[in-house]
């Protein structure tokens, strides 16, 4: 069996509702090579196994740590392969009315943004987000008898502050609210929804958001390693002969802040305060993953905005993929092991995805009612 079909087999044999956990190891960088780093990570796609050699081990049985995941990708893995094997089936479910989430976790510089966004405009190197746009519109363009309404929201979470990346100048307060009617889920008030008519529209929306992410930021690399970016796509679908019943599929695409321990950076003053807040979101995420994995009766979603935003994606109504990104160099041994343990724990999380059907809060429903009202007005004239 080739590598790709092995990876698919590993993923399918897992419980359908479990969070799927993928590990991807990026290639060694020129800088790492020049500074004499050794590679300590071995990836075995056919067994879903990652092995890491401890560069400072004193004995042989301490030397190698082994972890198994739903799928693993080595430094030569292509963007297309990862997408087709793992993400395409998830987006197909979103197009049936499920919630889906893909989030990238890992130390700064390990390839989260490369995996999520990739090189925009380069068809081989583009990442998950632009590929999802293409998949969504290729489905829409092929489908007859269904009306679609697609919109995007793009937000950033920085030090527990939510910023609307599509309306960065808006002064409206963005507040997290629980969905009404006990249907679960959390939404952000006043967050701009950009209706998109095709994949190019959505790409443009993403670019606008990315540009806003950089405004007023002195060091973009540093900023993006300290903030979480969430791109949300909602797809409303109504059959033309049954337009009262609207399905909604929602997809969360998340590029998390770098997971490296801030204490190592020797920050002080405002910097330390900032680091503590950034840590808070990721450590809350860790606590939520831990509680879910242990089947604990209390899951501390409310401890940070990040975990509230991802509440449905972890332990809730969503199909979720976690991608843990790692680097191969010995100098990152400790951070790599921390990431691998974190990801390993997430494998135990069980979600409860259900199709979002007959959605009364669909925008499509409101639009249809408006059309009916206008038709009647014309008829009465
Ligand atoms: P992060 O978002 O986790 O901080 P980046 O995505 O910016 O990391 O990646 C850091 C560097 O490594 C970038 O130059 C990126 O192009 C490169 N890189 C990351 N992953 C890969 C990969 N799988 N293949 C090739 N280059 C990669
Ligand atoms: Mg990044």
pLDDT tens per residue across span 281-302: 888 999 999 999 898 999 999 9
CB atoms inside a 10 Å sphere around CB 14: 16
126 lines ligand 1 (CB under 6 A): no
Residue matched to tokens 């956990």: 21
Residue matched to tokens 């307060």: 173
Known binding-site positions = 106-113
- Residues 61-113: tens digit of each pLDDT: 779 999 999 999 999 999 999 999 999 999 999 999 999 999 999 999 999 99
* Alpha carbon of 115 to ligand 1 centroid (Å): 8
Q: What is the arithmetic mean of pLDDT over 241-270?
A: 81
Interface pTM, i.e. ipTM: 0.99
Share of the chain above pLDDT 70, in %: 93
Known binding-site positions for ATP = 106-113
More confident residue, 152 or 372: 152
Ligand 1 atom nearest the C-alpha of 119 is 16
Pairwise CA distance, residues 18 & 291, whole Å: 15
* Cβ-proximal residues to 71 (8 Å cutoff; 6+ apart), any chain: 7, 8, 10, 11, 20, 22, 23, 45, 48, 85, 86
- Entry pTM: 0.91
Given a cut of 80, is residue 185 above it in pLDDT? no
Quick one: pLDDT band at residue 15, thresholds 50, 70, 90? very low
Burial status of residue 116 (CB atoms within 10 A of its CB: 0-12, 13-18, 19 or more)? buried
Predicted confidence at residue 377, as pLDDT, reads 87
**CA neighbor of 235 nearest in space, from 317, 319, 151:** 151
Round the average pLDDT of the chain to a whole number and report it.
88
* Alpha carbon of 87 to ligand 2 centroid (Å): 19
Share of the chain above pLDDT 90, in %: 63
């Amino acid at each position: 069996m080739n590598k790709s079909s092995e990876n698919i087999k590993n993923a399918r044999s897992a419980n359908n509702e479990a969070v799927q956990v993928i590990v991807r190891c990026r290639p060694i960088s020129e800088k790492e090579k020049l500074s004499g780093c050794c590679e300590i990570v071995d990836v075995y796609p056919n067994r879903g196994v990652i092995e890491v050699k401890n560069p400072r081990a004193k004995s042989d049985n301490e030397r190698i740590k082994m972890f198994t995941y739903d799928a693993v990708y080595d430094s030569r893995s292509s963007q297309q392969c990862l997408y087709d094997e793992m993400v395409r089936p998830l987006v197909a479910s979103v197009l049936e009315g499920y919630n889906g989430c893909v989030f990238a976790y890992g130390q700064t510089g390990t390839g989260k943004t490369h995996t999520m966004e990739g090189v925009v405009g380069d068809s081989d190197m583009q990442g998950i987000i632009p590929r999802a746009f293409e998949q969504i519109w290729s489905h829409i363009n092929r489908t007859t008898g269904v009306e679609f309404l697609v919109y995007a929201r793009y937000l950033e979470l920085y030090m527990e502050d939510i910023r609307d990346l599509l309306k960065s100048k808006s002064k409206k307060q963005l507040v997290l609210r629980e969905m009404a009617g006990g249907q679960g889920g959390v939404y952000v008030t006043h967050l701009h929804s950009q209706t998109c008519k095709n994949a190019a529209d959505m790409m443009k929306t993403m670019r606008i958001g990315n540009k806003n992410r950089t405004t007023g930021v002195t060091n973009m690399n540093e900023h993006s390693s300290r903030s979480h970016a969430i791109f949300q796509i909602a797809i409303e679908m109504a059959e033309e002969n049954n337009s009262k019943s609207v399905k909604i599929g929602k997809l969360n695409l998340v590029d998390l802040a770098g997971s490296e321990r801030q204490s190592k950076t020797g920050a002080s003053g405002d910097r330390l305060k900032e680091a503590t807040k950034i840590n808070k979101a990721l450590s809350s995420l860790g606590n939520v993953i831990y509680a879910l994995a242990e089947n604990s009766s209390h899951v501390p979603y409310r401890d940070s905005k990040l975990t509230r935003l991802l509440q449905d994606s972890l332990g809730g109504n969503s199909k979720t993929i976690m991608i843990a990104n790692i680097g191969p160099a010995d100098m990152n041994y400790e951070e790599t092991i921390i990431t691998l343990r974190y990801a390993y724990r997430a494998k135990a999380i069980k979600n409860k995805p259900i199709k979002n059907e007959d959605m009364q809060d669909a925008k499509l429903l409101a639009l249809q009612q408006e059309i009916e009202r206008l038709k009647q007005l014309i008829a009465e004239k």
